Structure formats: structure tokens, C-alpha cells
Amino acid sequence: MESDMKPVVSPINRIQHNLVARVERRALDWLCAHLPRQISPDMLTAFGMFGAVLVFAGYIGSNADRDWLWLVVAGYIVHWFGDSLDGSVARFRKIERPRYGYFLDHSCDGFATTLLVVGIGLTPYVLLEVALVALAGYLLMSIHAFLSVKVMGELRLSYMNAGPTELRLVLIALTMSMYFVGHEAPVVGYLNPFDLFVGGVGLLLIVLFAVQTAQVARRLAAEEPPLN
């Protein structure tokens, strides 16, 4: 006999201490209150993915003309709007679907970030191999976040006072540097300053993953000592 009871979903403690959190929260609350009711969280998720596609297209187009980088900047803004508002609107309207929303949001986040970072590696400014190091770092940190939800009930949205919004601001600054500075000559082997920056961010994320993993493992080991 099948049960009609829905699975019990434990609440997730969202941890966010990024630099622009307060200002962003006020802006999101205002937008949630003034957004037309016809615009659903799913529509905002799709809008955010559209922004990621614009970013990818702009980076590809920069191989022909650097003016395509302006499309990248617009895409980041569109992506922020959709990605930041979908869950906020659901919580504001009290129409959350915890399992569905968590699954869809983070699936789209992974795909969108892949588009953004691979797009950077397909520009004439950054080597693809270097961009893939940054992508690996992001995906490792994502794995850490998802595991933390399972074992500790915590979803950490920021590290070292930086979260998704700060990352977008950094990527916009990187894109504008590409536009105004142009092609840079290699300074270390085949790597130019853009390569060193993107690769450095990737390595920092990988190191952060290792540190966070060690810290959480020690915490869990203390909470679950070995059986005698």
C-alpha cells in the first residue's frame, strides 16, 4: 500500500556573510515586493540561465570584436537578477518547494557557471586550460557545499567574505579589463596576466576546498567518535 505522505525535508541553515549581503538583501526584498505576480520563480530561474547564455555568447563573440564583451556585462546583470531572485521570490511569497527548488537551482547554477568559465577560456584573452582549473575549483567548492547540507544541515553561500555576487563583480571587472587593456603578452611562460589571475582564483578555490574539508572532517570526527 502506497503512502500519500510527503517526504519530510529538514530545514537548511543558510550561512551568508559576504561583503554586499546587506545591501543586496535590501534590494532583493524591494524587488520581491514589487515584482508582478505573474513572474514565477521558475521564470526567474530560466531568465538567469538566459543571462548565462548571453555571457557565453559574448565571450565567444569577443574573438571577432571586443565590443561583444559589453554583451557579457549585460549577461552577468541578467544572470544576477534571475539567479538571485528565484529563491527569494519563492520564500517571500511562501510558495517554496524545498526539494524541487534546491535541485533545480543548484543544477542550473552548475550549468551556468560552466558556461561562464568555459566562455572565459574560449576568449582570446585566457587559455582554456587555465579556465578549466578555475572551473574545477568552483565545482569542488560546490561539492563541499552540497555535502555540508547533507552532513550538517548547513548551506554556506559565502567564503572569505565573498559569495556569488562578489564573484560576478570580479568577473565583470575582469571582462572590462579585457576590453580596455586588450591582449596581454605572456609574463610567465605562456601565461599572461589574465591567465595568472584566473588560474590563481582557481588554485585558491582548490586550496579552500582542502582546508574546509579538513575542518569539517575534524568537526564530524569530534561529534562522532569511534565506537569502542
Q: Is residue 189 part of a domain?
A: yes
Nearest alpha carbon to residue 195 among 127, 145, 140: 127
Q: What is the pLDDT of residue 2?
A: 44
Q: For the segment 76-105, what is each residue's pLDDT rounded down to a tens digit?
A: 999 999 998 998 999 999 998 988 988 999
Contacts of 179 (CB under 8 A, 6+ apart): 66, 69, 70
Q: For the segment 25-47, what is each residue's pLDDT rounded down to a tens digit?
A: 889 899 999 999 999 999 999 99
Which residue in this structure is represented by grid cell 537551482?
Answer: 105
Q: Is residue 130 part of a domain?
A: yes
Residue type, 202: G
For residue 168, is pLDDT > 80?
yes
For residue 16, is pLDDT > 70?
no
Q: Is residue 6 part of a domain?
A: no
Give the Cα separation of 100 and 104 in Å (integer). Answer: 6
Confidence of residue 15 (pLDDT cuts 50, 70, 90): low
Give φ, ψ of 63 to 5 degrees.
-70, -25
Q: Is residue 5 part of a domain?
A: no
Q: What is the pLDDT of residue 69?
A: 97
CATH number, position 42? 1.20.120.1760
Nearest alpha carbon to residue 67 among 180, 154, 168, 173: 180
DSSP per-residue codes, 173-212 = HHHHHHHHH-----SBTTB-HHHHHHHHHHHHHHHHHHHH
- Percentage of the chain exceeding pLDDT 90: 60
Q: Is residue 1 part of a domain?
A: no
Query: Cβ(78)–Cβ(56) under 8 Å?
Result: no
Q: For the segment 106-128, what is each residue's pLDDT rounded down to a tens digit?
A: 899 999 999 999 999 999 999 99
Q: Is residue 228 part of a domain?
A: no
Q: Is residue 23 part of a domain?
A: yes
Using CA atoms of 165, 170, 173, 174 in order, give the dihedral in degrees to the nearest 10.
-130
Domain range holding 22?
Answer: 13-223
Q: Is residue 63 part of a domain?
A: yes
Give the Cα separation of 188 and 195 in Å (integer). Answer: 10
Structurally, the chain folds into a number of domains equal to 1
